[in-house]
Amino acid sequence: MLDYKQLIASKIKAPLSTAELMSLITETSDDSFGDYAFPCFKLAKLMRMSPVAIAEKLAADIELDDHIVNVQAVNGYLNFFVNRLELTCEVISDVFASHGEYGNSDMGSGKTVCIDYSSVNICKSFHIGHLSTTAIGSALYKIYGALGYKVVGINHLGDYGTQFGKMIVAFKLWSDRETAEREGVKELQRVYVKFHQEEAEHPELTEQAREWFARIEKGDLEAQELFEFFKKVTLAEVMKIYDRLNVKFDSWNGESFFNDKMDAPLKMLRDKGLITESQGAQVVELGNYGMPPCLLVKSDGSSLYATRDIAAAIWRKEEYDFDKCLYVVAYQQNLHFKQVFKVLELAGFDWAKDLVHVAFGMVSLEDGAMSTRKGNVVLLKDVIDKAVAKAGEIIAEKNPDLAEKDKVAEQVGVGAVLFSALESSRIKDIVFNYDRVLNFDGETSPYLQYTCARCNSILEKAGDWLSSKSVGDYRALDNPETLRLVKLVGSFPQAVKDAAFKYEPSIISALLIDIAQAFNRFYIEHRVLSDNMAEQIARLQVVKATADVLKRGLSLLGIEAPDKM
């Protein structure tokens, strides 16, 4: 599509570079004020005139053409009107030419982005608290992939720490392999909770747990075998959830993988004079940067999350030579990542600037918080199952004759769960409500899926219109409803880029809602299937372009779009 911002910038005779001019040009929210606007306020000091006078002067010098058909000076703004029929035809043509991959580009060709997300804990339940990191990370994985980047999805497993000593003690006392294989993580969780209940009255259990963890670290055969068994049981269950959520990873290197990779970074930090001793512990002082010390080695000689994250960052840079490494982790870890990134920067790694903490808010159900130790967790599987069941009830009521109702219910229920974590700014806390996320009339995934299915229904009723020899009468598209819809569809490629560079999938979610709402206004105001074949073909092209972009946008969020609902 023609780059209208660049074209407009080339026509403005002002003392700013083309790039500066383009950065100031925005699309208008009200079509009556044109299609693009340029504010003249920044030019007031440079040109020593009022913004109103500048707008009038610049407007007089604008040369109109077949693409820019009018310009108006209004209250210090230049409002540009483009050839709207040309814009409409260009957008539709571009969507069709993309063959279902509208918004894709090769801008990331030759570049690598590592994304650390989900990071489940071995022996612990995959609960609703993991939803945001999993949904956001997976969406960014797909978005960066669409922009041509090589993407490395990393599940940094929580598979290291004294809790695994506790698990071995608990397992040997109160469980067995047959039960664990049959019951899965539920059984591992049961004995873990029991350990903490018994620990208060039997402190010797704590000492036994420390001994077993030490055996894990030393490579003891029995300890390692039990640890690997726990890992196998956990991942077998977790993979079922990932498959349902359409989530994938390229690396499963967790904390334990870096257990033997911490000595070199620690030595390097000592050699650079960055590590000091504090009450027997080894730290990097960060007071000059407004942060408390970064603790790397405790007084008993054990490492911490920061130590392993520093080792992991160095290893990932050496292994993948990333251009950017994202950590999709809750905002409670803000300080942790600031400290880790600053230590790497002080160590002289210029790529420390390419490390990004993609923080997000917490997710919970309406009945409150969770605790693994106390055993009151809400499993993500149960949330998905309940959403799918509720979706099935709604679909059975709305369309009892629908074929493959179970498949569609799965797509709608899973989509609703994922979209709940992607619909708003990632930093917001989320309280999950089944009725709200499954509302077919709200700003939800089912609403988007239903709109997409409505488009498909219209196209199906039209028959084999794509092979028709009739030519579309594009004058039928010259109206405010179609223009608004087509403009939104045409903004999709930029939304994909913005979502990547702002690490914010909700930019795509919000645009899809706007497109669906604009389509439904278009559909109400303009009869698509009519006796006028030329008008019908033109409008059918708008319907197909809308369906293609809705389906594409949903896929980048990891959500399937049923053909029928």
Give the per-residue SS3 of 333-396.
HHHHHHHHHHHHHHCCCHHHHHEEEECCCCEEECCECCECCCCECCEHHHHHHHHHHHHHHHHH
**Beta bridge pairs of residue 37:** 26, 79
Q: What's the one-letter identity of residue 456?
A: N
Residue 105 included in any domain: no
> What is the pLDDT tens value at each position of the chain, 565 positions in all?
789 999 999 999 999 999 999 999 999 988 889 999 999 999 999 999 999 999 999 999 999 999 999 999 999 999 999 999 999 999 999 999 999 999 999 999 999 999 999 999 999 889 898 999 999 999 999 999 999 999 999 999 999 888 999 999 999 999 999 999 999 999 999 999 999 999 989 999 999 999 999 898 888 999 999 999 999 999 999 999 999 999 999 999 999 999 889 999 999 999 999 999 988 899 999 999 999 999 999 888 878 899 999 999 999 999 999 999 999 999 999 999 999 999 999 999 999 999 999 999 988 777 654 444 445 578 899 999 999 999 999 999 999 999 999 999 999 999 999 999 999 999 998 888 888 888 888 899 999 999 999 999 999 999 888 777 667 899 999 999 999 999 999 999 999 999 999 999 999 999 999 999 999 999 999 999 988 999 999 999 999 999 999 999 999 999 999 999 9
Please give the Cα distance from 465 to 77 (Å, whole number). 44
Of 11, 9, 41, residue with least CA distance to 25: 9
Q: Are 262 and 307 in contact (CB under 8 A)?
A: yes
Torsion of CA 56, 58, 60, 65, to 10 degrees: -130
Q: Does residue 183 share a domain with residue 296?
A: no
Indicate the pTM of the whole model: 0.92
Q: What's the one-letter identity of residue 402?
A: L
Q: If DSSP codes are grouped into helix, strand and coil, which group holds residue 27?
A: strand
Q: Are 555 and 142 in contact (CB under 8 A)?
A: yes
Please give the Cα distance from 219 to 227 (Å, whole number). 11
Buried b (16+ CB within 10 A) or exposed e, 186-200: ebbbbbbbebbeebe
The two beta strands, 355-358 and 324-328, are parallel
Q: If DSSP codes are grouped into helix, strand and coil, which group holds residue 283?
A: strand
Q: Does residue 160 share a domain with residue 122?
A: yes
Residue 24 included in any domain: yes
Q: Among 301, 324, 352, where does a domain finish?
A: 301
Residue 104 included in any domain: no
Q: Does residue 297 share a domain with residue 248?
A: no
The two beta strands, 26-27 and 36-39, are antiparallel
Q: If DSSP codes are grouped into helix, strand and coil, which group holds residue 80?
A: strand
**Beta bridge pairs of residue 78:** 38, 73
Q: Does residue 57 share a domain with residue 69?
A: yes
Residue 100 included in any domain: no
Residue 329 included in any domain: yes
Please give the Cα distance from 560 to 486 (Å, whole number). 23
CA angle 394, 397, 401 (to 5 degrees): 115
The CATH number given to whatever domain includes residue 72 is 3.30.1360.70
Q: Among 301, 320, 352, where does a domain finish?
A: 301
Q: Does residue 443 share a domain with residue 350?
A: no
Paired tokens of 84: 């709207």
Q: Does residue 250 share a domain with residue 133?
A: yes
Q: Does residue 417 share a domain with residue 316?
A: no
Q: Does residue 312 share a domain with residue 283?
A: no
Identify the domain containing residue 148 by its residue range. Answer: 112-258+302-364
Q: Does residue 388 share a domain with residue 335?
A: no
Domains of the chain: total: 4
Residue 442 included in any domain: yes
Q: Does residue 414 share a domain with residue 353?
A: no
Q: Are 335 and 291 in contact (CB under 8 A)?
A: yes
Please give the Cα distance from 489 to 103 (Å, whole number). 10
The CATH number given to whatever domain includes residue 152 is 3.40.50.620
Q: Are 132 and 430 in contact (CB under 8 A)?
A: yes
| Local structure of residue 202 (DSSP, 8 states) | -
Q: Does residue 519 share a domain with residue 409?
A: yes
The two beta strands, 294-297 and 281-284, are antiparallel
Phi, psi at 152, each rounded to 5°? -115, 110
Residue 439 included in any domain: yes
The two beta strands, 363-365 and 430-432, are parallel
Residue 436 included in any domain: yes
Please give the Cα distance from 392 to 399 (Å, whole number). 10
Q: Among 301, 330, 356, where does a domain finish?
A: 301
CA angle 258, 332, 553 (to 5 degrees): 85
The CATH number given to whatever domain includes residue 413 is 1.10.730.10
Q: Does residue 549 share a domain with residue 485?
A: yes
| Local structure of residue 127 (DSSP, 8 states) | B
